[in-house]
Amino acid sequence: MITGIEIVEITGHILKVCHELYRYFQKIENVDSTIAIFLKEITDFSAVLGNIQTTVTQLGESGFIERCGKEHWQAIGNSLRDIEDSLQNLKLLTLQSDRGPNGILQSLFWKTKDQIRLDSNAFDIDLRQKEISICRKVLMLSLNMVQMYVFLKRIL
């Protein structure tokens, strides 16, 4: 069973990868619509993950998941792990660890190489964007469920 701490930990890892991908894609000058949509989706997804982290932290772990639908949050945890793996794979496909051009000519070649790498991975980027979009919508619904629970608990 997943715990509140695990949710916060997983979302933290995903936020880190989202930030790295966002910074990388921001540097690309010739951004096509696939990348632009992906950047927007990463930004929106990161905001929802941040809200989930804040809410789980504020409510505390004690009984949080049990009170808010154990099976639902178990499925959310599994989805978050899948998204984390998916984003890590995308990061491996797009980012290159030995990047580091020194001169202008090397910089131009790296930019061209980056663009070719992105173009060749456009299908994967589009697929990850759709996965993130679906996960973001489910997380927003889950966040609303938790907020409604907290609200009802206060007035009852």
pTM over 0.85: no
- What pLDDT is recorded for position 129? 83
- What pLDDT is recorded for position 97? 46
- What pLDDT is recorded for position 96? 58
- What pLDDT is recorded for position 76? 82
Residues 118, 35: contact at Cβ < 8 Å? yes
- pLDDT one digit per residue (tens) for the chain, 156 residues: 777 788 888 889 999 988 888 888 777 766 677 777 888 888 899 998 888 888 777 777 655 666 667 787 788 888 888 888 888 887 877 765 445 555 555 555 555 566 666 666 778 778 888 888 888 888 888 888 877 877 777 787
How far apart are alpha carbons 86 and 127 in whole angstroms? Answer: 10
- What pLDDT is recorded for position 87? 85
Exposure letters 117-132 (e unless 16+ CB within 10 A, then b):
ebeebeeebeebbebb
- What pLDDT is recorded for position 98? 46
Residues 18, 42: contact at Cβ < 8 Å? yes
φ/ψ of 58, rounded to 5, equals -65, -40
Q: Which residues contact 55 (CB under 8 A, 6 or more apart)?
A: 143, 146, 147
Domain ranges of the chain: 4-155
Q: What is the 3-state secondary structure (H, E, C) of 21-85?
A: HHHHHHHCCCCCHHHHHHHHHHHHHHHHHHHHHHHHHHHCCCCHHHHCCHHHHHHHHHHHHHHHH
